[in-house]
Structure 1
Amino acid sequence: MARSKTPLIFFAVVVVLSIVAVILVVNKCSSDQPGATGNAGVASDTDQPGKGNNTEAGQGNDPDGMTLTPDGKHVDDVSTAQAGTPEELVGRISEVTVRANNTGDAQPLIQALGQQRLTPDQANKLRQLAAASRLKLDESKPFSSVQDAANRWALNLADRNRIFLDLSKTADGKWQVNKITLPGGKLAIDDNSDPRWDPANPNQEKQAAATVHGFIDAIIKLDPASARQHIDPTKVSYARLAGLCIIFEEGKYTLLKERAVRKMFLRNTTAGWLARVEAQGSGESAMFAINTKRKDANAPWKITEINLDQLLADYANRVSGGDIYYTPLIKNPKGGDSLVIYFDLDSNNLTLRTQRQLTIVANLLKADKTKKLTISGHTDALGSDDYNLQLSKMRAKQVMVFLTENGVDPSQMKVVGYGKSKPRLPNTTEDGHDAPDHRRANRRAEIFLDF
């Protein structure tokens, strides 16, 4: 009797169904794995960044999500080091800070600082500050070095807070940010933050830049009379113009051939610039900062401040062996600046150096015969009081004679001698020993342009 085939058919069906079930289970498990795609090889909406979940693009649950730059590089692989001087690096960072404040996007600033140098809390705080336009820099001094702290700089915010940057040098001689210190609670974010300033358009930027270039060209030509056409005389003293010409002439400075004038910030009515110069044949650069303002969009740009701190330090190293006190420009107790010329010991003769300096002053005074100046003579402490008083008067008189011979009206000038009564520096050390370098700075005549 033939056996029935039904059991075999039933067994075969069971085997086929089991295989199908296994395949379905395997596919189900695979679809649950991260990064799996659908049948067409395209991620579903819920798998696309920013859709169907509560995480931002690039963040999610990936701990490395915020350590990638826009071009896909890991931040630890992106060097923020820069060749040049510390001032140039901090100046570049200040430019990025201004853009972050304008756009509300702090990510370029975070990358410029070096994201690996920032804690997550610091990065988030910078994003909040940028979004609230609280990264606005001080117009008069956007950044500065910190005294008594080697390689420490500060971004000076308009609300008087500061962001500190500690710099270090790499093995190949480049500068980089090594540490960032943000201010404390005073930078709390609120809804009453200052509104953003309207940025100037490209044509207005050209106008502001033309003012700066015209001013610097006149300084290089040792023409303070032409340079004064570009300044606000209520903000910038004529003494500063003459002093800058003297510094350029004696330091033999010229503008760098590339990117000599760099914009630090630009607004509708104010702009900041960094002028980079080099001493002839030195191959080393120095810089000074210039601020420009205008009353409104139809008014001309005028220079309102010139910060010479870094340039004066470089000048002192090149011209006077590092003696910063031997500078041709000092602060006057009455306010503003005074020009200073120096004399040899026990002499009222003008050196070739002082004659060149006074020629620049004469050119400035001849351009405006209504202006007055006071010439004060001074001595060191050697000699009697009577002798030093007479010597100081002779020094002041000698300056007046030279200026008169070079076209300045004597009625514009007043001379006075103070002897040794008003030293710039102590003539002796604290323990009573002689201080020749200080005495050299005291043998002088000061020219106060009381304009």
Structure 2
Amino acid sequence: MKNASTITAFIISFLVVGSLALVFLFLDNKEEEPAAAEPAAQTEVPARQTVTPQPTVDPLTKEDISRQTATPPSLINLSSPQTLAQAIAKVIQDRDEDILKSLEIQQAVTENQSRLIRELMEARHIRLSSPGITSIGANNQGANPTARYTLNFSSGARGYLDMKRNDKQQWTLDTLTLPSKQDLAKDKVAPMAMNDPMGIVSSFMDAVAKADFRGARKFVDGTKVQDATVAGLCILFEEGAFRLREDAPIKTAYEAPTNAGFFVHLQDAQGRKAGNVGLTVAKTDGQWLVAEASLDSMLEAYTKRQGAGDDIFIPIVKNPQGGDSLALFFGFNEDTLSKRSERQLQIVAEAIKMDSGKKLEISGHTDDVGSERYNQGLSERRAAAVKAQLVQFGVPAERIVTKGFGKSQPRRTYSPTADEETRDEARKENRRAEMYLDF
């Protein structure tokens, strides 16, 4: 009986404990249900968002876009004067503001020079010809070398770029010289000459290169340089097809307050070196003029061409009375002028007509082939042929004196044992007529 009571009590206790466990489990589930339903409630009601008003922005202009996207002007290599000259020419011709800004940044041009260049840029009718620049010369004397170039305008006018190398070994525009606005606007205008030593040499050589005796004579002191020398130089340039060297043809040898010396470097039609002309200029009453001309190097280059078989002879010879004479050459037993000689006499005629007091002495000569009597007559006919052509060119006959010397005054001699080729070359140089001015 006692055992039955114990079992009954155990069963009742088990049931009570199990009931309590079920009650607690039910209560835990009731508390978790709201947490599970909360996300659904948030999805149905979105949170409110606050929007901040943005300021109104105007659209970018083309100028704004260009300014924001433009790269700074690239620096120009200023280690040579030609680069600087080409840059300035491009600024003027192409209206290239970026290049000008680069030159300003590098202090290659001054503020005033920039203003003058911009005025050219803005004048649309002002254009450069081809080539836009020409190298004139250089002065390498001293610590700061200089160089000069021309700006060649389509009107024919010229501007001048004088450049100097600074202590940083960079070239800067030292002086900008421009023609007048009237000259820039014309269709044709004579180039402006610079009244300084290099400017006079440049203008003189420009005229010589065109065989323009009158133009060249304006830059010469006639009391120191003979007209025959100037005329002979014009003839040499035309006959020998000489050209001024492209890169800095004029080199300063020395420069003083009242005089200066230069070498003008030449080339032939093929671009090869062809000697030089030495010129001295002197200042008199504020005007620079050519006072001396040395043609030895040029004449040497000229005579070397005879080796190629061309009968070219020096048109300038020394006169026994002093000074220079001009020489024309004839074929064997001929007394008629060649086309070459006629062109040379045009230049001589200009020299005579420029001065009404000037006279001309013409002497005829022959080689040593033939009798004395025959050669005397031949030499007289050669001198007369030259006179007749000059008269046709407008020289008064009374201002010309002619003489014949036969074979008595050879320009070139040879030894009795000389071969036939040497004799023939000497005889060619002796068949001539010489012209002497200012006798």
Structure 1 length as normaliser, TM-score?
0.53
Mapping 1:336-351, distance limit 5 Å: 336-351=323-338
Answer yes or no: is the 8 Å Cα contact 2:225–2:291 preserved in 1: yes
Answer yes or no: is the 8 Å Cα contact 2:264–2:277 preserved in 1: yes
Q: Using the TM superposition, give the Cα deviation of residue 323 of structure 1 relative to its aligned residue in structure 2, in angstroms.
A: 9.1
Q: In structure 1, give the amino acid aligned to 2:331.
A: D
CA distance in 2, matches of 1:225, 1:319: 30
Partner of 1:356: 343
CA distance in 2, matches of 1:247, 1:319: 14
Which residue, 405, 409, 412 being the options, matches 1:425?
Answer: 412
Gap change, CA 1:317 and 1:433, over 3 Å in 2: closer
Answer yes or no: is the 8 Å Cα contact 2:195–2:288 preserved in 1: no
3-state DSSP class of the match of 1:326?
A: coil
Mapping 1:73-152, distance limit 5 Å: 99=142
The range that moved more, 275-284 or 254-263, is 275-284
Answer yes or no: is the 8 Å Cα contact 1:325–1:441 preserved in 2: no
CA distance in 1, matches of 2:308, 2:372: 31
Partner of 1:437: 425
Partner of 1:309: 296
Mapping 1:168-247, distance limit 5 Å: 207-247=196-236
CA distance in 2, matches of 1:268, 1:323: 45
Please provide the CA RMSD for this pair: 3.0
Q: In structure 2, give the amino acid aligned to 1:256.
A: R
CA distance in 2, matches of 1:308, 1:419: 29
**What is the aligned length?**
257
CA distance in 2, matches of 1:269, 1:322: 45
Q: Using the TM superposition, give the Cα deviation of residue 218 of structure 1 relative to its aligned residue in structure 2, in angstroms.
A: 1.2
3-state DSSP class of the match of 2:287?
A: coil
CA distance in 2, matches of 1:285, 1:217: 17
Partner of 1:396: 383
3-state DSSP class of the match of 2:345?
A: helix
CA distance in 1, matches of 2:437, 2:410: 20
Which residue, 386, 394, 401 being the options, matches 2:373?
Answer: 386
Q: Using the TM superposition, give the Cα deviation of residue 99 of structure 1 relative to its aligned residue in structure 2, in angstroms.
A: 4.6
Partner of 2:434: 446
- Point out where structure 2 has 5 or more consecutive residues left out of the alignment: 1-137, 146-175, 178-193
Deviations for 1:348-396, whole angstroms, at most 9, x for unmatched residues?
Answer: 0111211111111112222223210100000011111110000000000
Partner of 1:329: 316
CA distance in 2, matches of 1:344, 1:263: 42
CA distance in 1, matches of 2:407, 2:300: 27
3-state DSSP class of the match of 2:325?
A: strand
Gap change, CA 1:342 and 1:324, over 3 Å in 2: closer
CA distance in 1, matches of 2:218, 2:195: 18
Partner of 2:262: 273
3-state DSSP class of the match of 2:437?
A: strand
Q: Using the TM superposition, give the Cα deviation of residue 284 of structure 1 relative to its aligned residue in structure 2, in angstroms.
A: 3.0
Which residue, 247, 252, 256 being the options, matches 2:241?
Answer: 252
CA distance in 2, matches of 1:365, 1:322: 33
Q: Using the TM superposition, give the Cα deviation of residue 322 of structure 1 relative to its aligned residue in structure 2, in angstroms.
A: 8.5
CA distance in 2, matches of 1:243, 1:345: 24
Which residue, 347, 353, 361 being the options, matches 1:374?
Answer: 361
Q: In structure 2, give the amino acid aligned to 1:436.
A: D
CA distance in 2, matches of 1:372, 1:206: 31
CA distance in 2, matches of 1:317, 1:432: 21
Q: Using the TM superposition, give the Cα deviation of residue 318 of structure 1 relative to its aligned residue in structure 2, in angstroms.
A: 3.1
Mapping 1:285-300, distance limit 5 Å: 285-295=274-284, 298-300=285-287
Answer yes or no: is the 8 Å Cα contact 2:315–2:326 preserved in 1: yes
Q: Using the TM superposition, give the Cα deviation of residue 257 of structure 1 relative to its aligned residue in structure 2, in angstroms.
A: 2.3
Partner of 1:13: none
Gap change, CA 1:371 and 1:210, over 3 Å in 2: same
CA distance in 1, matches of 2:238, 2:225: 20
Percentage of matched positions with identical amino acids: 37
Deviations for 1:263-309, whole angstroms, at most 9, x for unmatched residues?
Answer: 111001110011112112334343111001124xx521111111111
CA distance in 2, matches of 1:387, 1:413: 24
Partner of 1:261: 250
Partner of 1:137: none
Which residue, 416, 427, 431 being the options, matches 2:403?
Answer: 416
CA distance in 2, matches of 1:422, 1:259: 43
